[in-house]
A and B are shown apart, each in its own frame.
Chain A
Amino acid sequence: MKVLVAVKRVVDYNVKVRVKADKTGVELANVKMALNPFCEIAVEEAVRLKEKGVATEIVVVTVGATNAQEQLRTALALGADRAILVEADGAEPLAVAKLLKAIADQEQPGLIIVGKQAIDDDNNQTGQMLAALGGYGQGTFASVVKVEGGKAQVTREVDGGLQTVELALPAVVTTDLRLNEPRYASLPNIMKAKKKPLDIKSPADFGVDVSPRLKTLKVEPPAERKAGIKVKTVEELVEKLKNEAKVI
């Protein structure tokens, strides 16, 4: 079974982003970029399926600018076999989902694994949209994935606890934090990754219109909280909560 994994290049999760002075977006110049953490988990899950003999080949895809090749190389170093870059900068989730659907039609994977959320735009929608367009079942926010007998059993992290669903294959899984703990790429694997195939395509190759549906009018910093105080004792804390803040 072939596994398709979609990944996104995002600002590293440790970076505290700053809004640009002209309010057109956040400052990305000289900021550390990385593989979206949920995508790292997606790649890891695919690699584990291959190690178990369930997956035979892992194809990793990204839609992004030329420099997103770096993140594809990272995924290849982690164990993906082949990579595809669709060159389109800033494509919205619906357009990304359409491109992924077109690639899935060509590649015919048994399972598609994506992150639950890209930590830049916090959209949490691409996997669900892809599943809709492909007519696939979806196991979102997955903390356990079992593939057996042509089906996937996915345990999902939901508001009330955990839910398990069974999906016909091919299906889309979106990863949650506790699905696995991604490995680090070893130096030899980083070297090997440089020689793995990486195809570059354009949205036109798939006949997909990537024009945006949303226009960002402005991006602003959130409201600042006013500075608080340090209390010296528990007594002082409780007194303040009762008489100053009046919340208990």
Chain B
Amino acid sequence: MTILVIAEHDNASIKGATLNTVTAAQAIGGDIHVLVAGAGAQGAADAAAKIAGVSKVLLADSAAYGHQLAENLGLLIAELGKGYSHVLAPATTNGKNYLPRAAALLDVAQISEISKVVSADTFERPIYAGNAIATVQSSDSIKVITVRPTAFDAAAATGGSAAVEAVGAAHDAGKSSFVGEELAKSDRPELAGAKIVVSGGRGMGNGDNFKILYSLADKLGAAVGASRAAVDAGFVPNDMQVGQTGKVVAPQLYVAVGISGAIQHLAGMKDSKVIVAINKDEEAPIFSVADYGLVGDLFDAVPAIEKLV
């Protein structure tokens, strides 16, 4: 059995989600190869070669892969995937974009966002916003899988010394082109890997009020997240949304501020180690998952917490 892991990277370095995906591959068992598809991605490939447990890195370096366009990556992964028993990608927006495309080209199912490996062909995955866990068995010859990063520990980023092999194939489907991007810039840790996450909801009232969360977050070294309602209302950008259809986080500490705790929000944070809820409504459902609940006005509580930590 040889497993192909598709790396999440920014050409220069490997993103954390790749390391969790390698751990999922280790749980399946077998040789692990990592594909770095990008443009000017030697740096990322070198970093992938150092991941503990990886035996080979494939570097597909072409302008066609520069912006991770799914049309092009789908063709590449479908071509390379034929030689593997499993193809794994992290369940990031990138992985979710290209991997089903590769699966369809290989004429196999995709098993989305697995949270556990039971055996080489059987996996657990959350369904219905995490209100049920399904155990599914695949009968396909190649198992194509996205991995929920928070459900697996990160593999060690160093200690390996895999060979990097260049892959010639430059697939340009000619169906899509990159126009531009607006990436959020922040000095705070990324939501996905942060040890502490402070999230605000509709109760924040407006975008300006998020200042008190940023200030607390900076004191704690935390990332800042949000509920859908806060994003929809324009308080904060979309990449901060935590939930069933946003980001899934599982930090050591999650602080939900002015968030009611709809099932769609809980789906994105209820695997956090410790949950704190601050809400003025003592009946708010968020308290049912909170280890520590504080009933009160967030505009008093948040600055007061900041003074004490």
**In the complex the two chains form, is A248's CB within 8 Å of B196's CB?**
yes
B175: contacting residue among A135, A140, A219, A229, CB under 8 A: A135
Would you list which residues of chain B between 45 and 100 have a CB under 8 Å from chain A?
67, 69-71, 74, 92-94, 96-100
For A11, what are the chain B residues with a Cβ–Cβ distance below 8 Å?
128
CA distance in complex: A240, B131 (Å) = 29
Q: Does A234 contact B (CB under 8 A)?
A: yes
**In the complex the two chains form, is A125's CB within 8 Å of B110's CB?**
yes
**In the complex the two chains form, is A94's CB within 8 Å of B293's CB?**
no
CA distance in complex: A223, B293 (Å) = 20
For A26, what are the chain B residues with a Cβ–Cβ distance below 8 Å?
127-128, 131-132
Sorting the interface of chain A by its residue count into under 10, 10 to 19, 20 to 34 or 35 or more gives 35 or more
CA distance in complex: A121, B238 (Å) = 23
Q: Does A149 contact B (CB under 8 A)?
A: no
Q: Does A237 contact B (CB under 8 A)?
A: yes
**In the complex the two chains form, is B175's CB within 8 Å of A132's CB?**
no
For A135, what are the chain B residues with a Cβ–Cβ distance below 8 Å?
173, 175
**In the complex the two chains form, is A13's CB within 8 Å of B264's CB?**
yes
Q: Does A220 contact B (CB under 8 A)?
A: yes
For A159, what are the chain B residues with a Cβ–Cβ distance below 8 Å?
92-94, 192, 239, 247
**In the complex the two chains form, is B93's CB within 8 Å of A213's CB?**
no
**In the complex the two chains form, is B104's CB within 8 Å of A128's CB?**
yes
- The distance from the CB of B168 to the nearest CB of chain A, in whole angstroms, is 22
**In the complex the two chains form, is B293's CB within 8 Å of A229's CB?**
yes
**In the complex the two chains form, is B292's CB within 8 Å of A241's CB?**
yes
Would you list which residues of chain B between 127 and 185 have a CB under 8 Å from chain A?
127-140, 173-184
Sorting the interface of chain B by its residue count into under 10, 10 to 19, 20 to 34 or 35 or more gives 35 or more
| Nearest-CB residue, chain A, relative to B15 | A159
With contacts A13-B264, A132-B100, A132-B104 taken as known, whether A178 is within 8 angstroms of B231 at the C-beta atoms is yes
CA distance in complex: A218, B301 (Å) = 44
CA distance in complex: A248, B228 (Å) = 27
For B93, what are the chain A residues with a Cβ–Cβ distance below 8 Å?
140-141, 156-159
For A195, what are the chain B residues with a Cβ–Cβ distance below 8 Å?
none
Q: Does A197 contact B (CB under 8 A)?
A: no
CA distance in complex: A215, B139 (Å) = 8
B-binding segment of A54-62, A65-73, A105-113, A163-171: A163-171
A132: contacting residue among B101, B113, B131, B196, CB under 8 A: B101
For A237, what are the chain B residues with a Cβ–Cβ distance below 8 Å?
276, 292, 294, 305
Q: Does A33 contact B (CB under 8 A)?
A: no
- The distance from the CB of A109 to the nearest CB of chain B, in whole angstroms, is 16
- Among A137, A160, A235, find the residue whose CB has the most chain B CB atoms closer than 10 A: A160
**In the complex the two chains form, is B122's CB within 8 Å of A94's CB?**
no
- The distance from the CB of A246 to the nearest CB of chain B, in whole angstroms, is 9
- The distance from the CB of B62 to the nearest CB of chain A, in whole angstroms, is 17
Q: Does A205 contact B (CB under 8 A)?
A: no
For B301, what are the chain A residues with a Cβ–Cβ distance below 8 Å?
234
B238: contacting residue among A117, A162, A166, A219, CB under 8 A: A162
For A136, what are the chain B residues with a Cβ–Cβ distance below 8 Å?
175
Q: Does B103 contact A (CB under 8 A)?
A: yes
Q: Does A6 contact B (CB under 8 A)?
A: no
For B134, what are the chain A residues with a Cβ–Cβ distance below 8 Å?
216, 218-219
With contacts A16-B131, A215-B136 taken as known, whether A234 is within 8 angstroms of B308 at the C-beta atoms is yes
CA distance in complex: A234, B94 (Å) = 40
A-binding segment of B20-28, B33-41, B207-215, B267-275: B267-275
Q: Does B2 contact A (CB under 8 A)?
A: no
With contacts A128-B101, A157-B93, A165-B69 taken as known, whether A93 is within 8 angstroms of B291 at the C-beta atoms is no
**In the complex the two chains form, is A133's CB within 8 Å of B228's CB?**
no
Q: Does A214 contact B (CB under 8 A)?
A: yes
For A124, what are the chain B residues with a Cβ–Cβ distance below 8 Å?
96, 100, 112
With contacts A158-B239, A161-B239, A164-B179 taken as known, whether A221 is within 8 angstroms of B132 at the C-beta atoms is yes
CA distance in complex: A160, B244 (Å) = 17
Q: Does A120 contact B (CB under 8 A)?
A: yes
CA distance in complex: A125, B106 (Å) = 14
Interface flags, B104-125, vs A, CB<8A=1, else 0:
1101111111000000001000
For A241, what are the chain B residues with a Cβ–Cβ distance below 8 Å?
253, 274, 276, 292, 309
- Additional 4 contacts, C-beta under 8 A, given A92-B109, A217-B135, A221-B133: A125-B110, A128-B104, A157-B93, A237-B294
Q: Which residues of B contact A (CB under 8 A)?
A: 67, 69-71, 74, 92-94, 96-105, 107-113, 122, 126-140, 173-184, 192, 196, 220, 228, 231-232, 237-239, 244-245, 247, 252-253, 263-264, 270, 273-276, 282, 287, 289-295, 301, 304-305, 308-309
Pick 27 A–B contacts, CB within 8 A, sort by A: A18-B131, A26-B132, A119-B129, A123-B110, A124-B112, A131-B70, A132-B74, A132-B100, A132-B104, A137-B175, A140-B96, A156-B93, A161-B183, A162-B181, A168-B174, A213-B109, A214-B109, A214-B138, A220-B135, A229-B292, A235-B308, A237-B276, A238-B308, A245-B274, A247-B253, A247-B273, A248-B196
